[in-house]
């Protein structure tokens, strides 16, 4: 095993940071473009809700979109067509609006607030959005702003965000875990959230071709002269079994396997490297890369995680993601077209 040279390290990191669009991501990017076009027309703006469980790639896709849209300096202000902000750790509405100031490059002077009046903070943000020519506001991890809040507090959050969108005439995109959809219970947001997208895990029982295309896209980004054959049937099934359709897990797994292949001096990524990676990560589980196709067992998501807003104090309000029992791949595919078989 030889150390990697600088070029290999750069190519490995490029693969780690690569972005492959799935059909739902393409749809979301089209939604963003439509919202930005609507902004140019003025008036009341439609807003958008994007939800998805852990590992669906929500944050990655919005960061990628932001990188696609150029920013430039405009006097003392940055021209920021897309404002991407994350709910801060001390999640409340004021800290979120202060973070929006910071992400626009103009930290809010807290001394300008008086007698607990939040109007100065809100109006300052509206003015700043205009100076920065912002066309779209994206707030990531929005669910954190709703957790542990009373119904009245959630209504207050909805009212202030609605005011900002109306006053600045800018569409707002809220991104978060499935329970971020709770904001739609507020009447003023239920009407505004015309665009709602849920990013699912991949499922072999529901359009397996999307999973295969995603693997092929990742293979194109890998740092090898010879492209890995991730679309071959055995490899596809084993990768699904190891990831349960979770995008972030799948990418991290392939990154580690790719690193092993480069350290071995291999010309491409092979099932042997993936098998080694699986043994490192899950030595207690049956290794799908060492099994024949008919022996590979996999599980798909059955219920996404949820948050009980009425949970008694002192109890955990979050219900974890649920997966079905392991089934043979053939059963998952019983109602879908068969995938390409491996070459003999």
- Which residues face 48 on adjacent strands? 173, 195
Domain membership flag for residue 15: no
How many other C-beta atoms are found inside a 10 Å radius of the C-beta of residue 224? Answer: 16
What pLDDT, on the 0 to 100 scale, is given for residue 340? 43
**Residue 239, both tokens:** 């990768």
161 and 48 housed in the same domain: yes
* Ranges of the chain with pLDDT below 50: 1, 115-116, 337-344
| Contact in structure between 324 and 302 (CB atoms under 8 Å) | yes
The secondary element (H helix, E strand) that includes residue 144 is helix 143-146
The DSSP secondary structure of 108-125, one letter per residue, reads: --GGG--TT--HHHHHHH
Q: What is the pLDDT of residue 73?
A: 66
- What does the alpha-carbon distance between residue 165 and residue 162 come to, in Å, rounded to a whole number? 5
Q: Are residues 169 and 232 in the same domain?
A: no
Element containing residue 322 per DSSP (H, E): strand 322-323
Cα angle: 106, vertex 111, 114; to 5 degrees: 120
Task: Please tell me the number of Cα atoms within 13 Å of 12 on its side-chain side.
Answer: 20
Domain boundary among 134, 165, 199: 199
CATH at 131: 3.40.50.300
Indicate if 63 and 173 belong to the same structural domain.
yes
Asked, for residue 3, whether it belongs to a domain, the answer is no
The count of other CB atoms within 10 Å of the CB of residue 132 is: 20
Task: Answer yes or no: do 103 and 147 share one domain.
Answer: yes
CB-based contact 289:275 (threshold 8 Å): yes
Backbone angles phi, psi at 43, to 5 degrees: 80, -165
Based on the fold, state whether residues 113 and 242 are members of the same structural domain: no
- Give pLDDT, residue 2: 54
Is the same domain home to 110 and 48?
A: yes
In a domain, 239, yes or no: yes
- Do residues 74 and 210 share a domain? no
Report the number of distinct structural domains present in the chain.
2
- The alpha-helical segments, DSSP class H, found in 17-110 are 23-41, 58-68, 93-103
Interior angle at CA 240, CA 290 and CA 181, nearest 5: 155
Q: Are 236 and 274 in contact (CB under 8 A)?
A: no
94 is written with which tokens?
């004021």
Q: What tokens appear for 300 in the block?
A: 């798909």
> Can you name the residues that pair with 82 across neighbouring β-strands?
136
The answer as to whether 182 is a domain residue is yes
For 235, residues 6+ apart whose C-beta sits below 8 A from its C-beta are: 215, 229, 271, 274, 289, 342
Tens digit of each residue's pLDDT (9 = 90 or more) over 42-83: 888 999 999 999 999 999 999 999 999 988 766 666 789 999
Final residue belonging to a domain, choices 151, 182, 199: 199
Angstrom distance (rounded) from CA 63 to CA 44: 26
Query: Both 131 and 220 in a single domain?
Result: no
**Residue 4 forms part of a structural domain:** no
- Give me the domain span that covers residue 41: 23-199
pTM (predicted TM-score): 0.91
DSSP assignment string, 253-300? HHHHHHHHHHHTT-SS--HHHHHHHHHHH-TTS--GGGS-GGG-EE--
**Can you tell me the distance from the alpha carbon of 7 to that of 16, in angstroms, rounded to the nearest whole number?**
14
Last residue of a domain, one of 130, 165, 199: 199
Please report how the helices 247-263 and 208-221 are oriented relative to each other, as an axis angle in degrees rounded to 10: 40
Provide the pLDDT for residue 81: 94
The DSSP output letter for 201 is P
């Amino acid at each position: 095993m030889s150390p990697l040279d600088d070029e290999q390290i750069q190519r490995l990191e490029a693969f780690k940071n690569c972005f492959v669009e799935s059909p739902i991501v393409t749809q979301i990017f089209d939604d963003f473009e439509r919202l930005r076009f609507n902004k140019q027309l003025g008036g009341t703006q439609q807003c958008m809700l994007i939800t998805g469980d852990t590992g669906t790639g929500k944050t990655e896709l919005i960061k990628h979109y932001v990188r696609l849209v150029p920013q430039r300096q405009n006097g003392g202000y940055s021209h920021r067509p897309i404002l991407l902000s994350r709910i801060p750790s001390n999640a409340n509405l004021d800290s979120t609006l202060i973070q929006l100031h910071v992400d626009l490059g103009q930290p809010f002077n807290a001394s300008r607030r008086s007698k607990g009046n939040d109007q100065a903070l809100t109006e300052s943000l509206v003015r700043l959005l205009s100076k920065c020519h912002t066309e779209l506001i994206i707030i990531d991890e929005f669910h954190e702003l709703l957790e542990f809040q009373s119904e009245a507090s959630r209504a207050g959050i909805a009212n202030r965000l609605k005011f900002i969108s109306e006053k600045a005439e800018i569409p707002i995109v809220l991104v978060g875990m499935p329970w971020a959809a709770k904001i739609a219970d507020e009447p003023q947001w239920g009407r505004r959230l015309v665009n709602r997208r849920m990013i699912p895990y991949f499922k072999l029982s529901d359009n397996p071709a999307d999973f295969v295309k995603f693997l092929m896209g990742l293979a194109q980004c890998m740092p090898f002269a010879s492209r890995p054959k991730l679309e071959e049937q055995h490899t596809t099934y084993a990768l699904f079994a190891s990831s349960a359709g979770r995008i972030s897990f799948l990418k991290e797994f392939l990154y580690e396997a790719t690193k092993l292949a480069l350290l071995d001096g291999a010309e491409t990524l092979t099932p042997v490297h993936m098998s080694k990676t699986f043994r490192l990560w899950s030595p207690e589980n049956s290794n799908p890369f060492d099994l024949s196709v008919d022996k590979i067992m996999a599980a798909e998501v059955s219920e996404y995680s949820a948050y009980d807003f009425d949970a008694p104090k002192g109890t955990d309000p979050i219900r974890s993601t649920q997966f079905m029992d392991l089934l043979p791949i053939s059963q998952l595919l019983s109602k879908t077209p068969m995938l390409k078989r491996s070459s003999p």
